Amino acid sequence: MEDVNKLKPSFLSSDESLAVHAGERLGREIVTNSIRTPAVSTTTYFYKNSSELIDSKPTLIDATDIAGLQAIVNNHGVSMFFTESPTNPFLRCVDIKLVSEICHKRGTLVCIDGTIATPLNQKALALGADLVIQSATKYIGGHNDVLAGCISGSMKLVSEIRIMHNLLGGTLSPTMHLRVKQQNSTALRMAHVLEAHPKNPRHPEHHIAKRKMTDFGGLVTFETTIKFIDSLKIPYIATSFGGCESFVDQPAARNWDVPRDERLKYGLKDNLVRFSFGVEDFDDLKADILQALDTIPTKTSLYSHQNGVVSDKN
């Protein structure tokens, strides 16, 4: 992240002083706005109809399908490419630098939802993205008590979005750097513990995650049994993530309206578990997870990854 470091004022030794402003900066002309619906507000201003927006949901385009993206951008008048990176819940990683180069050649804006990575772990603007949005309900808010979001980008772009922002909320004042450091560490250590289980492959975008992120976040996703969730003592069962308390949920349970065959087509198995680590003591969380795993038959395989770094022991 050498390019990012060049942009920081010389008296700042880390990104923590910037991160507490709830967004991402790239020089003095980059601004951050607090807004309750950043995804809706952002896209509303930059495309006239749905055909001009590329969404990275699997039903439209796989965010990691570079050839497919290139073909669409080259053959259609696309105003914006919008994707999460890492994605939720599979934690797939997009080569933001390459995607930005492809899109900008055709005048297509790139908007990255960096909620899972947070501004501490990923600098999408420095990698070439035009806009970065964050659900501040998650890691930035951090205490599961707000509904908020933020948008970071150039003054020109954010000013266009700001038109409807005047009455939509104030800027958050988080303790994000304190929380996210602990969550990064716990998730990585726990991912390495889970890696010891058999049939646990390397994350497919491991190399991209190492290149584009300074750390790897507090989410670990793995396949196990529902009995595992029921046996846990510490985490709450909830659909949110990024808070001080650990959360666990079953993504398929939030998509029962989608036929099972359709869910399986995109890898959304019934036994997929998403674990959001809070700031509890690592040894307590480890003991809780291991005792829950002990309730699972030994023939059950475990698949896990933490934003592409499970197999990285260096």
**Nearby residues of 76 by Cβ (< 8 Å), 6 or more positions away:** 51, 52
- Do the domain assignments include residue 141? yes
- Model confidence at 6: pLDDT above 70: no
| Backbone CA torsion sign across 82, 84, 90, 91 | positive
Query: Helix, strand or coil for residue 199?
Result: coil
- Do the domain assignments include residue 170? no
Q: How many CB atoms lie within 10 A of CB 66?
A: 14
Clarify whether residues 295 and 256 are in a common domain: yes
Clarify whether residues 203 and 158 are in a common domain: no
- Model confidence at 110: pLDDT above 90: yes
Q: Which of 202, 206, 220 is nearest to 274 (CA)?
A: 220
Clarify whether residues 194 and 70 are in a common domain: no
Clarify whether residues 143 and 54 are in a common domain: yes
Clarify whether residues 257 and 298 are in a common domain: yes
Q: How high is the pLDDT of residue 61?
A: 67
Clarify whether residues 136 and 219 are in a common domain: no
- Do the domain assignments include residue 200? yes
Query: Helix, strand or coil for residue 274?
Result: strand
Q: For the chain, what is the mean pLDDT?
A: 76
Amino acid at 51: S
- Do the domain assignments include residue 172? no
- Model confidence at 20: pLDDT above 50: no
Clarify whether residues 21 and 150 are in a common domain: yes
Q: What is the CATH number of the domain that holds 280?
A: 3.90.1150.10
Q: How high is the pLDDT of residue 109?
A: 93
pLDDT band at residue 36 using 50, 70 and 90 as cut-offs: very low
Domain coverage including residue 65: 2-164
Q: Which of 199, 189, 195, 218 is nearest to 276 (CA)?
A: 218
Is the model more confident about 24 or about 265? Answer: 265
Query: Helix, strand or coil for residue 273?
Result: strand
- Do the domain assignments include residue 263? yes
Q: How high is the pLDDT of residue 98?
A: 94
**What's the structural domain count of the chain?**
2
Q: How many CA atoms lie within 13 A of 205 on its CB side?
A: 22
Query: Do the Cβ atoms of 44 and 138 come closer than 8 Å?
Result: no
Per-residue pLDDT tens digits for 158-194:
887 776 565 454 445 457 788 889 999 999 999 888 8
Q: How many CA atoms lie within 13 A of 17 on its CB side?
A: 7
Per-residue pLDDT tens digits for 282-292:
999 999 998 88
- Do the domain assignments include residue 171? no
Per-residue pLDDT tens digits for 191-211:
888 877 544 555 677 788 888
Can you read off the two tokens belonging to residue 141?
């808010």
pTM of this structure: 0.64
Q: E strands along 56-181, which residues?
A: 80-84, 109-113, 131-135, 149-154
- Model confidence at 227: pLDDT above 70: yes
Residue with tokens 């920081």: 8
Q: How high is the pLDDT of residue 10?
A: 47
Clarify whether residues 258 and 236 are in a common domain: yes
Q: How high is the pLDDT of residue 114?
A: 94
Rounded CA Rg of the chain:
19
Clarify whether residues 206 and 234 are in a common domain: yes
**What mean pLDDT is predicted for residues 13-20?**
51
